[in-house]
Chains A and B, each alone.
Chain A
């Protein structure tokens, strides 16, 4: 079964077009990043894949099926899980309720014990109110809760944003472990150093299109090149 394939994806916020034909591939088991400056259209791309951006056209194929025109709840049940930039921890729910909120969409999700092993902090605070967590813990919880569901493709939107370096390291470790477990990850990032150590491939996004593709080897050989795309 193939992974995610995005062809000529266009998207609009009302009248203004935000995505001007995105093209990229994420093979099964890969970790791929979308890199780019603020407002380039990275988050919008994830929202369009997820169906949260309603006005969209082109092709988003996952498991061979085109998901354009589908509702978010349908797309989620095909095995795509989304972790939004703002993390979306529900204030009125406890940590455990947050963790159990996403319904299981397929077999093969991570067991609760494995999740708690991966995120020991979450286990300790399982009965706290969702928003009582620190920023890092909230991010961990936001990732943790989409691992149970059996989804195979994870869309992670800037998981390192605003977090202390030590937490960023932890999240890097988590993503590496997820890759080992066979998850496919599409990662939106601005933190190039963080992304370059994780990803198999990078797509550089600007003005709603992919302007360059770099492999992990490219980045290792010529770090300047990727930094030039992102410097202000």
Chain B
């Protein structure tokens, strides 16, 4: 038998075929994400959940008689699902657009991402409650069973069908957008929605239908995927991150680019499985990193949309809540008495996550970069601290410092890659890079896969303070937190911090003043990663474990949620947010799988109703009260601080 580089053609072509199938799904989904991103400026994180809905929709139709035994409904097979489910998922998408997504069009792009992250958590959480991790079986329709023997390999009919149908749908979509009147409306509305409305076109309805269409594509992909993969609540969770990476690689502004990139990356992934199986889960993210170095706009990208820093800060610099020296003392005293009020372990969890959120706020709140991969720094530091303490017997402080060093290193590398893009791209890139670390930790031998590194010794601080004593450990963590908090306050108040804020508010202006803004952003990003690493390393010692959860994107989402609930860009916001989120997680822990639903709802509610966060709202209220008093005592009204641009 002929072999190719020592690999049988069956294996080679088999994997290329599987890769091509994956590529079809990547293409269909990244097409939807790219259309929604292009037209609506929404980074549709809920796309994976909508794909999952499609697969479940097909499964439901098949099992109608079992689901509603009394109604005498027929079991609707694959071909029905192929038509009905995309329409239904599209309709659900239209409702979601009407109820939620429409409300954030005029806001910073970051809110759209946060909102869809929340919606994805709610939907996937609900299905998780209903179906758990187990996958449901969905049979290949009878008419597509069997296959053809091509001589060198066996090609199942269903897979051939998926490839032909998927690519046809992609091409039809491309044609509609690039070559028809409807497509011209869409492209024009992307450039100047107001003018298109002034020509008499109902742009809001068109945007709703565009979203529904993109989502319907995900639903269709879900139906087509149902017989190939298991129908499970988790099926959309990881694919969306890959899809984001595909969109980054393809670049915006090119529909055909999204299709081609999806297909190509699927095949590359398949080939990698043949030649270097371990790397197959990460190859797309590595390609993304390489593309970012050489072609930051993506392979087919023409333009950079949504490419400005997100000024979402809600702080009022002169308020009493922004006085770092004062609050350092108050937090010190409050922290000192906390272990006598709550369990020290609970207190330490709050402190670790508060430091993590503060570190995150440094880059998100003060520089306006929507990082979405801080789990990589938190988690990698946790792993390194745990490993050096457990396996190499490093003393505690040295173990944590090793973790911090690792986080700093990764932070500098990721920052160097990611600062080439801004806005939503920055989020997608950091998310994808963090996923790289996650997949590495699943496979590397020293991280022990699903088990993580357990039984990490707490050890002795400086060789003589016994950290296995809860209070000793607690006060050590408190000290670490206060040092981190003070450092961040120092950073943002320094001239360096002023430049960071100017970048947040208007980067071109900062550049025109002669600042090399990329260098500032990189330094800030690295500092943020370093402090996130400090939080992660400390956490590994406190809880004596480093696990995959530390690296999972939900940890990044936690950092975002804490910062958002507390108040983006405020001094105390992340701390308040950490208290709220950790308490919430503890209170709802008994609900099991519902926690994720609750957390997702918190995301959605925050984006819709509490955009300024608890601290930001409080600062507004205090400022308004001070202003009222000043006017009451005869002062003139102050000019509006944040003017409206006309």
Contacts and interface: CB of A to CB of B under 8 A. Distances in A.
Nearest to B188: A90
Given A15-B644, A88-B192, A71 B200 contact: no
Contacts of A13: 644, 646
A100 B179 CA distance: 13
B203 interface: yes
B337 interface: no
A146 B195 CA distance: 12
Contact of B200 (A18, A76, A90): A76
Nearest to B195: A88
A16 B188 contact: no
Interface string A11-35: 0011110100000000000000000
B186 to A, nearest CB: 10
Nearest to A80: B198
A123 interface: no
A103 interface: yes
Given A76-B200, A82-B198, A91 B191 contact: yes
Contacts of A16: 644, 646
Interface in A171-207: none
Interface residues of B, number: 21
Interface hub of B187, B188, B192, B195 (most chain A Cβ within 10 A):
B195
B509 interface: no
A13 B640 CA distance: 14
A88 B195 CA distance: 7
Given A15-B644, A88-B195, A101 B200 contact: no
A84 B198 CA distance: 10
Interface in B156-188: 181, 184-185, 187-188
A50 interface: yes
Nearest to A76: B200
B646 A93 contact: no
Contact of A72 (B187, B190, B198, B646): B198
A149 B200 contact: yes
Contact of B644 (A14, A81, A84, A91): A14
Interface in B187-212: 187-188, 190-192, 194-203
Nearest to A44: B646
Interface in B510-552: none
A90 B191 contact: yes
A88 B201 CA distance: 15
Determine the interface band of chain A, counting residues with CB < 8 A from chain B.
20 to 34
B190 A92 contact: yes
Contacts of A15: 640, 644
Nearest to B181: A100
Contacts of A84: 195, 198
Contacts of B202: 71, 73
A101 B185 contact: yes
B210 to A, nearest CB: 15
A97 interface: yes
A14 B645 CA distance: 8
Interface string B399-428: 000000000000000000000000000000
A73 B616 CA distance: 37
A179 B196 CA distance: 25
Given A90-B188, A101-B184, A52 B199 contact: no
B184 A52 contact: no
Interface of A is mostly: loop
A13 B646 CA distance: 6
Given A14-B644, A73-B197, A105-B200, A92 B187 contact: yes
Nearest to A88: B195
A77 interface: yes
Contacts of A76: 197-201
A63 interface: no
Contacts of B185: 101
Nearest to B192: A88
A88 B192 CA distance: 8
Contacts of A18: 646
Contact of A102 (B200, B203, B644, B646): B200
B203 A73 contact: yes
Contact of A103 (B192, B194, B200): B200
Contacts of B184: 93, 97, 100-101
A126 B25 CA distance: 38
Contacts of B644: 13-16
Contacts of A71: 197, 202
Contacts of A102: 199-200
Nearest to B184: A97
A128 to B, nearest CB: 15
A71 B197 CA distance: 8
Interface hub of A14, A100, A105 (most chain B Cβ within 10 A):
A14
Given A13-B646, A16-B646, A88-B195, A93 B200 contact: no
A101 B199 contact: yes
Contacts of A103: 199-201
A101 B188 contact: yes
A18 B644 CA distance: 13
Contacts of B188: 90, 92-93, 101
Interface hub of B181, B191, B640 (most chain A Cβ within 10 A):
B191
Nearest to B640: A15
Interface hub of B187, B198, B201 (most chain A Cβ within 10 A):
B198
Interface hub of B188, B196, B203 (most chain A Cβ within 10 A):
B188
B160 to A, nearest CB: 36
Contacts of B181: 100
A141 B267 CA distance: 45
A109 to B, nearest CB: 12
A100 B184 CA distance: 9
A15 B640 CA distance: 10
Contacts of A88: 192, 195
Interface hub of B185, B190, B197, B646 (most chain A Cβ within 10 A):
B197
A75 B195 CA distance: 12
B95 to A, nearest CB: 21
Nearest to A74: B200
Contacts of B195: 82, 84, 88
Interface string A22-62: 00000000000000000000000000001110000000000
Nearest to A14: B644
Given A88-B192, A91-B191, A100-B181, 13 more contacts: A13-B644, A18-B646, A52-B197, A71-B197, A71-B202, A73-B200, A82-B195, A90-B188, A92-B187, A92-B188, A101-B199, A146-B199, A149-B199
Interface of B: 181, 184-185, 187-188, 190-192, 194-203, 640, 644, 646
11 contacts: A16-B644, A72-B198, A73-B197, A73-B201, A76-B198, A76-B201, A90-B188, A91-B191, A93-B184, A97-B184, A149-B199
Complex A-B, nearest 4 residue pairs according to Cβ-Cβ distance, in ascending order: A14-B644, A76-B200, A13-B646, A102-B199
